[in-house]
Amino acid sequence: MLMDAIILSIQTVIRQLFNIEQVVHLSRPDSDFGDFATNVAMQLAKPLGKNPREIAEQLAESLRQTGDYTEVSVAGPGFINLKLSSKKLADNLQSTWSDKYGENNDGAGKTMVVEYPSANMAKPYSVGHLRSGNQGWAVKRLMDVTGWNVITDNHLGDYGTPFGVWVVGFLKFSSDEQLATDGIYELGRVYIATKKALKDEKERSETVLADQVQDWLIKLENNDELAVGYSKRFNDISIGHIHEIMGRLRIATDYELGEAFFARRGKQIVQDLLGQGIAIQNDDGSVIVPLDEFGIKVPLLVQKSNGAALYATTDLATILYREETWHPDKVIYAVGSEQIFYFSQLIAMAKKIGIKTELVHLWFGTIDQINEDGVREKMSSRKGVVMMEELLDQAEAKAREVVVGREVSDDDIKKIAVGAIKFSDFIADRRTNILFSWDSIFALSGFSGPYVQYAAVRVNKILHDNEITQTDISQYDWAPEKSVILKLLEYPDVVRLAARDLEPHKIATYLYELARDLNRYYETTPIAVGDVTDVEKQARLRLLQKVSQIFNHGLNLLGIEVPSSM
């Protein structure tokens, strides 16, 4: 592609002049200076023992002689600025990556496991698992288009006391009718009420309910018919709900191997580690893995004193299962910043037991809001955590407001709603905490999903209303389109970098800039109406075709669809 070709031409000139191999980076300077710039002369100054400005002048002279550039200039201490003709840029756009949109084979032959959204079964799907799904899905898509073999896994939180809490609470506070009507919300209500009852009885130093909870857990372990029946009933409701939300968010995974799937194996592995002296048993029967050699003072607890498996026990088994089953080169855990310390322990433990695979905690910041007192805090509602279903419903209502008065299908409303929510996940580096505000995520003139979607819809409308013909456009000079063409040419590098750094927000930034450049272009250049010749019109339509493809492709990487109208 173009950037590579330019780098190659600079490297060739360096080799001819100085007989040296040098890495060259390109940047995009202010357009007054040039289309591309490099600071390679500064880097060469030391090895060559020469003044960088002098090196830059020499390189510039040779680059001029190649005839590939319309202008080569030297600025400041030794920056080289390059300008290319619009025509050359357009030809390049046409020939080099017309159908590949920056897709490449960087990950060929390598396998990656990406884990998201890993929601918990006990309660309705809340915003707490929104970012995991968004980020995880986008990373999966980036890996797909860069040649990786990608396996996705929803590591469900389906193990441990919640089951016992559910049954006890169901028998005490609920009924078949209520469960049939309210489904997961009834289970959530029962769960919270029972947790409170457990807390209250603990304060009274009683253990009646707590004992019942344990009894149900043991029954389930022993495959008691009634317990298995309850488990299936509750799990079906819960997983059905998780699927519904994931469906609305347009995300899915290949596997759903939850914690419960790994618990038994985990306990076995803990025994093995004890045998190998890697894990240590405390006097109370609990088991730990010390991590001092990794600079982590707190050991990882892998078994409770009563022998029960813990979160880490199931994760331990999960790691080994993935190794044996999929032989991944990399495993990505899309999980919030709250678990940074836990994952540092888990990853250290994996090293300790000899796992070579790169395990990455792809963490992200919280979703915050400004509360009634004007204070920024983690997003919540009067009732507690914000439910995804509610958030999506509200987003659809907002999307309807945005397009009020226009004919927009329900399907498109959903695309706008989900697009707005998802895009807001990518407006900054994922580590940044997001400040959630309906106004900004639906801002039609800002860095938002609807802004980019609208730009895409507009392009598509122009393409829909005007036919592309066989008109010969080879003589067209593309000057008005130069900035849009340069932007399009950047896309393959953006994809490559976003994939390399696991940073999908780079795609979002790019798409926003493309939309903005395009809007500026429309302001000065008529496409299909007014004073345009047939050649101009046809050339411009063909460029818009590329733009449309890139919007589609880029938004798709983020899990966002383009509405047919808005």
User: Which residues here bind ligand ARG, judged by CB under 6 A?
Assistant: 115, 118, 120, 155, 157, 315, 318, 333, 335
Integer Cα distance of 70 and 84 in angstroms: 5
57, 4 in Cβ contact below 8 A?
Answer: no
213: its two tokens? 């909870």
CB of 5 to ligand ARG, least distance (A): 43
Closest contact distance (angstroms) between CB of 155 and ligand ARG is: 4
* C-beta closer to ligand ARG: residue 194 or 345: 345
Minimum distance from residue 314 beta carbon to ligand ARG (Å): 8
CB of 452 to ligand ARG, least distance (A): 30
**Taking the chain, what is the end-to-end CA distance rounded to the nearest angstrom?**
34
CA angle 6/107/101 to nearest 5° reads: 50
| Of 143, 109, 27, nearest in space to 501 by CA | 143
Q: Cβ–Cβ contacts within 10 Å for residue 158, how many?
A: 25
List the Cα angle 223/218/309 in 5-degree steps: 105
Closest CB 132 distance from ligand ARG, rounded Å: 7
By beta-carbon proximity to ligand ARG, the closer residue of 294 and 321 is 321
Q: What is the DSSP string of 196-262?
A: HHHHHHHHTT--HHHHHHHHHHHHHHTT-HHHHHHHHHHHHHHHHHHHHHHHHTT---SB---HHHH
Cα-flanking dihedrals φ and ψ of residue 362, to 5°? -85, 85
SS3 347: helix
Query: Which amino acid is it at 205?
Result: S
Given a contact cutoff of 8 angstroms between Cβ atoms, the answer to whether 419 and 413 are in contact is no
Question: Concatenated DSSP letters for 391-428?
Answer: HHHHHHHHHHHHTTTS---HHHHHHHHHHHHHHHTTSS
Residue 11 CA to residue 43 CA, distance in Å, equals 13
Give the nearest distance from C-beta 118 to ligand ARG in angstroms. Answer: 4
The closest of 417, 432, 415 to 556, measured between CA atoms, is 415
Q: Are 118 and 336 in contact (CB under 8 A)?
A: no
Question: By three-state DSSP, how is residue 152 classified?
Answer: strand
CB of 187 to ligand ARG, least distance (A): 16
| Residue whose CB is less far from ligand ARG, 59 or 335 | 335
CB of 252 to ligand ARG, least distance (A): 17
Q: Residue 315 or residue 481: which is nearer to ligand ARG going by CB?
A: 315
Strand order in the sheet with 358-362: 149-153, 111-115, 330-334, 358-362
Min separation Cβ 131 and ligand ARG, Å: 11
Q: Closer to ligand ARG by CB, 351 or 461: give it.
A: 351
On whether the CB atoms of residues 326 and 344 are closer than 8 A, the answer is no
User: What angle (nearest 5°) sits at the alpha carbon of residue 453, between those of residues 452 and 457?
Assistant: 120
Residue 119 beta carbon to ligand ARG: minimum distance, rounded to whole angstroms: 7
The CB-nearest residue to ligand ARG is: 157
Min dist. Cβ of residue 212 to ligand ARG (A):
25
| Closer Cβ to ligand ARG, 259 or 536, answer by number | 259
Beta-carbon count within 10 A of 464 CB:
12
276 by Cβ neighbours in 10 Å (0-12 / 13-18 / 19+) ranks as exposed
| Minimum distance, C-beta of residue 354 to ligand ARG, in the bound complex (Å) | 19
In what order do the strands lie in the sheet containing 300-303? 280-281, 287-289, 300-303
Closest distance to ligand ARG from the beta carbon of 162 (Å): 11
Nearest to ligand ARG of 173, 343 (CB atom) = 343
**Residue closer to ligand ARG (CB basis): 38 or 318:** 318
